[in-house]
Amino acid sequence: MAASAGPEIERLIALLSKLPGLGPRSGRRAALALLKKRDTLLAPLTAAMVDAQAKVRTCTVCGSLDTTEPCAVCSDETRDGRLICVVEEVGSLWAMERGGQFKGRYHVLGGLLSALDGIGPEALRIAELLARVTRGEVAEVILALPATVDGQTTAHYLADRLAVASNVSVTMLARGVPVGGDLDWLDDGTIAQALRARRPA
């Protein structure tokens, strides 16, 4: 890839290129930036990675990542345990938390059902979700899954399973025009859904 750079640099570039958002070219740029900024970037990033590897673990309750067990959200007594928001990944959980509106708890599935990729219900944390729900405290499960085919398939599957296993109410995030969204830039499906779900002004 980068002839005349030693195998150590080649390996660093190859591994950096595997990060999402980076490819071979940006992997090289990242490696150069690290090697140029040894004290301000390479050393602290290495330390942060060693630290994360040692301390960060998956919460056994909700499947989120944190350094405490259970995670900060699951052990926060001020949060409403009657509400569980089901998300695909930890990244979606962080996005919900940035919104700052939701004060319940989470359940991270760890993926979506996908016939194409051969991901069935047993590969996701669905049994853990049903166990949490049937334990009693939960009143509502909010399915905050992506508006994609796999996301909606998973949402329907979960709604069915939850209806059989318990009598919690199951809801989904509203579909509609995003804040700041120009109608001209929206796809037809979103406009159709926003029209169907119209409400008094």
Q: Is residue 142 within 8 Å of residue 86, measured between CB atoms? A: yes
Examine residue 61 and tell whether it contacts a copy of itself (CB under 8 A): no
Does the footprint of a copy of itself cover residue 160 (CB under 8 A)? no
HSE toward the beta carbon, residue 191, CA cutoff 13 A = 7
Residue 69 binds to a copy of itself (criterion: CB under 8 A): no
Residue in 61, 70, 81, 97 binding a copy of itself, rule: CB under 8 A: 97
The residue within the footprint of a copy of itself, chosen from 77, 78, 98, 199 (CB under 8 A), is 98
Helix, strand or coil for residue 146?
coil
Which amino acid is present at 34? L
In the complex, what is the shortest distance from the CB of residue 185 to a copy of itself, in angstroms, rounded to a whole number?
Answer: 19
Spell out the residues 6+ positions from residue 183 whose beta carbon is closer than 8 angstroms to its own.
177, 191
Nearer residue to a copy of itself within complex by CB, 97 or 140: 97
Instruction: State the burial class of residue 84 (Cβ atoms within 10 Å of its Cβ: 0-12, 13-18, 19+).
Output: buried
Interaction site with a copy of itself (CB under 8 A):
1-9, 11-12, 15-16, 18-22, 26, 28-35, 38, 41-46, 48-53, 55-56, 64-68, 71-73, 89-91, 93-94, 97-98, 100
